[in-house]
Amino acid sequence: MVKALAIDGNSLLFRCYYATAKMLDYYHKNNLIPTNAILLMVSTIFKLLKNSYQYVFIAFDAHRKTFRNQIFSNYKMNRSKTPEDLIIQLGWVKKIISAMGIHHAAFDNYEADDLIGSFTKIMNDHNIVVDIYSSDKDLLQLITPLTNYHMFKVGLSKTILYTDNNFSSLFHGLKPNQVVDFKAIVGDSSDNFCGIKGIGPKTAVSLLQKYGSLNEIYQHISELSQKNQQILSCEENKKNCQICYQIAQIKNNLFSSESIDKFRKKKINSDEFNTIIDYLKIPSLRKYN
């Protein structure tokens, strides 16, 4: 079986950084480049590679603002600023990933989710099974019979595996193609948008199980309770949920003109890899080379 690995680089790096943040004092006191996140992230990637993936891709965010900010100016404006000690490590991580023979990318105006969605699409189109690793719930919409999602839950030690077969039992009895509809209705505080005020998760699930999609709910609005009719008919709520729907949808066409060979895992460049880790003073990574 041909398999592909997709990693949300920002998600993994952030988790590695905060899981090892106690080490930062050591780097500061000794005037060293911080490498706490680098060390754990690279180690984690090597462990994942043991599963014999022929295609590997690591996606990163380019900038905080994307096309979603053009749709909704306050999108993710509630997020805290990225620590400088983490920003420093991001550039080095990318250099190491390249030396490992792994393709990575970040596109202006898009998020890592959009790149992963696009990578998954071209892999699935070639009947290649994809394993996604992240902690972002938005990526649940990408699950198909050929795409599995490993969600980090407790640091990096525990993941929850979502598949096409078990998805409904893990996500409110819904299907992957209903994730966007669900989020459009209930909103997402982490992304700073509210959805439909007055409709909570329980009601949203009930409506989606009965009607299938947000559009179909509105097509059958006359069948709903008077209270829910009023809530859904509110112009502000209609506007908000449409905005949320657009924002929640992951793009899948960014690599439509690319050959899958671009993502084939290459051999590690030992000289380049060793030069970088020696410069950063993290010799423990040599065991992977």
Tell me, letter by letter, the H, E, C secondary structure of 214-277: HHHHHHCHHHCCHHHHHHHHCHHHHHHHHHHHHHHCCCCCCCCCCCHHHHECCCCCHHHHHHHH
Residues 87 and 66 in one domain: yes
Query: Per the domain annotation, does 134 fall within a domain?
Result: yes
- pLDDT at 156 exceeding the cut of 70: yes
Residues 42 and 141 in one domain: yes
Residues 107 and 214 in one domain: no
Percent of the chain with pLDDT over 90: 83
Residues 268 and 244 in one domain: no
Residues 144 and 272 in one domain: yes
Residues 115 and 183 in one domain: no
Query: Per the domain annotation, does 254 fall within a domain?
Result: no
Mean pLDDT along residues 37-65: 94
pTM above the 0.85 mark? yes
Task: Write the CATH number for 216.
Answer: 1.10.150.20
- pLDDT at 189 exceeding the cut of 90: no
What's the pLDDT score for residue 78? 62
Which of the two residues, 195 and 178, has the higher pLDDT score? Answer: 178
Query: Per the domain annotation, does 7 fall within a domain?
Result: yes
The domain tally of the chain equals: 2
Query: Per the domain annotation, does 129 fall within a domain?
Result: yes
Residues 102 and 238 in one domain: no
Which pair of tokens denotes residue 19?
């899981």
- pLDDT at 76 exceeding the cut of 70: no
Query: Per the domain annotation, does 253 fall within a domain?
Result: no
Residues 208 and 153 in one domain: no
Containing domain of residue 184, as a range?
A: 176-248
- pLDDT at 187 exceeding the cut of 70: yes
pLDDT classification of 67: cutoffs 50, 70, 90: confident
Query: Per the domain annotation, does 22 fall within a domain?
Result: yes
Residues 123 and 63 in one domain: yes
Query: Per the domain annotation, does 154 fall within a domain?
Result: yes
Query: Per the domain annotation, does 74 fall within a domain?
Result: yes
What's the pLDDT score for residue 65? 79
Residues 146 and 73 in one domain: yes
pLDDT classification of 70: cutoffs 50, 70, 90: confident
Percent of the chain with pLDDT over 70: 97
